[in-house]
Amino acid sequence: MQSQVIVLGGGVAGISLARTLINDHNVTDILLLEARPELGGRAYTETLVNNATGAVTTVEKGCNWIQGPGKEPILELADKWGLQTARTNYSDSAWWYDHFLDEQEQAVFTEGYDNFIEHAPGYSDLSVRVATSIMDWIPVTPVQKAYEYWNIDFTFAQPPEDCSFANAFGQEAGIENEVDDFVIDQRGFKYIFVQEAKELFGQDLNDPRLHLDTTVRQIDYSGDQIVVRTDKGDFSAPHVVSTFSVGVLQHQDVQFKPQLPDWKKEAIFTFAMATYQKIFILFDRKFWNDEQAEAMGVLRKMYDDVPEPLDIVVPRWHADPLFRGSYSNWPLGVLEEHHANLGQPVKKGDAWIHFAGEATSYEMFGYVNGAWDSGISTANAIGQCINKGDCPDAKIYDALKTCPQESSMRRRDGAPRAPRRHHRGPRGGK
Ligand SMILES: Cc1cc2nc3c(=O)[nH]c(=O)nc-3n(C[C@H](O)[C@H](O)[C@H](O)COP(=O)(O)OP(=O)(O)OC[C@H]3O[C@@H](n4cnc5c(N)ncnc54)[C@H](O)[C@@H]3O)c2cc1C
């Protein structure tokens, strides 16, 4: 089957791509291929079932908060579709502890960032571990270690040794401790994206341009057209867009023929796909205080009489060949040029393989917002190429051999000064 554009993946990025191509560029000759029987990708609801009563509870296996930089378009969609949310901030999270750090100790951590960034020009990128050590945060006691875990591992889904201070932590540090919107809608976070897709592909999603249950095996760009080989047959187009996670690309779950060029492989393999794990447990009755809630092990330490759970969901994001992790994170040693290459298309004659998805967003990687935005900007580039002949002339940094000499210890453009807490908000966590 032949079309003008093939969108690979029906997550947030794939849906925003299709929407922008059709609505803003009148590029309607498209196909969207998705391996799962439903749309939404990591906007992924799971159900817990009470077998005794048949009652079903929806939980967010993936994204749950509308948060982070550039979240306004997602808030607009939530408003448009009446998505039910609850306002939360960091201090709303339930904690169980006997003691915590006093304010002075916390200040070493939270204010150290500001001081460090002011006084550290000249450093190249450092791991969060090294940078926080220089700012005199060296956790020794279990409480200090827990506090650090809460601030770093919990948010980035990676330890401080792996995170880039300038590009992961530094970026997040610029975000105020703002109020976020936690999705509590039983239709799921995905609802707003699926509704958008229904405006394109019909209420029953039975438009022939949408192919669910279709797993991509290979992207063959050895000829004039790009051929996408799937378990349901071959599809070809001059523009093919991968919105697969960087984890899927790293695991080579989808083969490229020929192999991708070095500059692209370097970009794919330098970025990190982290795993953020949630656990959901359904009980037949509430036996905890409102102030306290944790997983089974903690519950059993806290309460003598913990009933048997009715249902448990433990997502295995890293093992899932359609995701290979939960969200991307910027590791130490990745230059901005590497990241730019991650989003650049691979050109072959008059055909292009484009790359979108959350990891390709410079300001919003890791977030739903980044996925949505990457879909729009990639669709704009394709629309311009098809309608105006102004086609992407990829700005590629050839395989990078050296680190830049100037410091990368700086705030991201537009990041507010004087952050008091660096957080992505609980993503659960994030
Ligand atoms: C546990 C967890 C918590 C998170 N919390 C938050 C949060 O609170 N707030 C926030 O903003 N973000 C959060 N995120 C991140 C957010 O969910 C993602 O950034 C976003 O959903 C990614 O969208 P995407 O379209 O780029 O990628 P995906 O959603 O991964 O879309 C890619 C699509 O490609 C499909 N696919 C993969 N391989 C193939 C194949 N071979 N053939 C065909 N189709 C294929 C997949 O099924 C998927 O539908 C969280 C993520 C997770 C997992």
What are 353-394's pLDDT values in tens digits?
Answer: 999 999 999 989 999 999 999 999 999 999 999 999 999 776
Give, in order, the Cα–Cα distances in Å from 295 to each of 95, 216, 224, 281, 303. Answer: 12, 37, 54, 8, 12
Q: Which atom of ligand 1 is nearest to the CA of 15?
A: 25
Across the beta sheet with 180-183, the strand order is 65-66, 180-183, 85-88
Domain ranges of the chain: 5-87+182-275+319-388, 97-177
Between the CA of 250 and the centroid of ligand 1 the distance, in Å, is 15
Prediction pTM value: 0.89
- Residue 417 pLDDT exceeds 50: no
- pLDDT per residue over 277-334, tens digit each? 888 988 888 776 655 555 566 666 666 677 788 888 888 999 999 999 999 999 998 8
Q: Dump pLDDT digits (tens) for 20-59.
A: 999 999 999 999 999 999 999 999 999 998 888 888 989 9
Half-sphere exposure of 334 (CA within 13 A, CB side): 28
For residue 7, list its beta bridge partners.
32, 241
pLDDT at 426 over 50: no
pLDDT > 90? residue 170: no
pLDDT of residue 421: 32
CA distance 227 to 14: 18
Q: Determine whether the shortest distance from the Cβ of 34 to ligand 1 is under 6 A.
A: yes
Mean pLDDT of the region 142-171: 82
For residue 113 and ligand 1, the question of a CB distance below 6 A is answered with no
Q: What is the mean pLDDT of residues 396-414?
A: 60
Ligand 1 pocket check for 152: Cβ under 6 Å = no
Residue 211 clears pLDDT 70, i.e. is over it: yes
Give the DSSP H or E segment for 329: strand 327-329
- Cβ 28 under 6 angstroms from ligand 1: no
323 in contact with ligand 1, CB cutoff 6 A: yes
CA of 41 to the centre of ligand 1 (A): 5
The finding on whether 71 has its CB within 6 A of some atom of ligand 1 is: no
User: What is the spatial distance between Cα 257 and Cα 255, in angstroms, rounded to a whole number?
Assistant: 7
Alpha-helical (H) ranges within 45-127 are: 72-80, 103-110, 112-119
Q: Rounded to whole angstroms, how far apart are CA atoms 285 and 262?
A: 56
CATH of range 5-87+182-275+319-388; options 3.50.50.60, 3.10.580.10, 2.40.30.260, 3.40.190.290 = 3.50.50.60
Q: What is the pLDDT of residue 81?
A: 98
Range in 52-66, 146-160, 163-177 with the lowest mean pLDDT: 163-177
Q: DSSP letter at 2?
A: B
State the pLDDT at residue 415: 39
Q: Is the pLDDT of residue 402 over 90?
A: no
CA dihedral 256, 262, 266, 268 (to 10 degrees): -20
Q: Mean pLDDT over all residues of the chain?
A: 85
Q: What are 114's two structure tokens? A: 């500001």
Mean pLDDT, residues 241-262 taken together: 97
Ligand 1 within 6 A of CB of 182: no
Whole-angstrom distance, CA of residue 284 vs CA of residue 286: 7
Residue 208 has pLDDT above 50, yes or no: yes
